[in-house]
Structure 1
Amino acid sequence: MKKQAKPIGLTKDAGWQFGLRKTFPYSQKHLWDFMFSDQGLKVWLGELEEELDVKKEFSTKEGITGKVSVFTPYSHIRMSWKKNNWENNSTVQVRIIGDSFKATISFHHEKLLDNSQREEMNVYWNEKITEIEKALMT
């Protein structure tokens, strides 16, 4: 009997997940500084109601809420993340990987409810990476 293939994005332990990476011709430091500037945060996270801080809850004017669990400068941030119309909390990790010549922005979103939520995040993060690219060019 043939084993059924596991659907793309379904993990053994963390439910459904989605990941997206894009490499830019900017240094790791430049990308990090942009992503965590007021302008950068507004692009990928939303307009914050309060400052991001480890172990503190945050909310955005766009209806995203969460709590930062890990913040390692010039490396990554990990946080709980919930849209205002969701019943579940998920986890988002953003990494900046690279050197002084080029670097990659990586979004990893896990603990999604189902494939439908995964597809929603596929569209969402692809839109965000396009907005980041446009903002970096200005």
Structure 2
Amino acid sequence: MDNEKIIGQTKSVGFQIGVRRTFPISQEQAWALITTTEGVRTWLGEDTSVIFEPGYKYHSKTGTGEIRIVKPLEQLRLTWQKEEWSKPSTVQIRILPKERNKTTISFHQEHLSDQTVREEMKGHWESVLDLIKERVQNS
């Protein structure tokens, strides 16, 4: 019974979660939905201002972190640590172009401490994708 695998648990990075959704928008529009001031508020919380440059340390109402990788129109990688967490997690956002003006936005988070935090963050990222969907439909 000890060998039973728990969903989202890895051997090396604790717990992880990944969610993605494809939208009928261009890669440029998807990048803007993630990186504009309004976009950042959607996934990192209100009153967050971030400069997307490696090494930039940010603070938000939901936690702190550091920008690690910025590949415009393709990828963001950063650390994110909520106040109640003992160590930071790693968040990777990918913008994946699909056929004919469709783009997938993918959120992947690892180094989560346990299954409860994983479920919390799964809900968070799904809510973020729902908000992005609303924004796309209303634009």
TM-score normalised by L of structure 2: 0.89
Name 1:59's counterpart in structure 2: 59
Give me the CA root mean square deviation: 1.7
Name 1:103's counterpart in structure 2: 103
Q: What secondary structure is seen at the aligned counterpart in 1 of 2:130?
A: helix
Q: Structure 2 stretches of 5 or more lacking a match?
A: none
Identical aligned pairs, as a percentage? 35
- Give, in whole Å, the separation in 2 of the partners of 1:117 and 1:111: 10
Matched, 1:19 2:18: yes
- Give, in whole Å, the separation in 2 of the partners of 1:50 and 1:117: 24
Name 2:27's counterpart in structure 1: 28
List per-residue Cα deviations over 1:74-120 (Å, max 9, x = no partner). Answer: 11000010112222210000000014510101000000001111011
With 125-134 and 111-120 compared, the bigger mean Cα shift is at 125-134
Contact 1:52/1:58 (<8 A) preserved = no
With 87-96 and 26-35 compared, the bigger mean Cα shift is at 26-35
Contact 1:35/1:41 (<8 A) preserved = yes
Contact 1:29/1:74 (<8 A) preserved = yes
Q: What secondary structure is seen at the aligned counterpart in 1 of 2:68?
A: strand
**Structure 1 residues 42, 16: CA separation in 2 closer, same or farther (over 3 Å shift)?**
same
With 29-38 and 110-119 compared, the bigger mean Cα shift is at 29-38
> How many residues are aligned here?
136
Q: Structure 1 stretches of 5 or more lacking a match?
A: none
Matched, 1:37 2:36: yes
List per-residue Cα deviations over 1:11-64 (Å, max 9, x = no partner). Answer: 11111100001000111111112211111111112232453421121011x232
**Structure 1 residues 4, 26: CA separation in 2 closer, same or farther (over 3 Å shift)?**
same
- Give, in whole Å, the separation in 2 of the partners of 1:101 and 1:137: 15
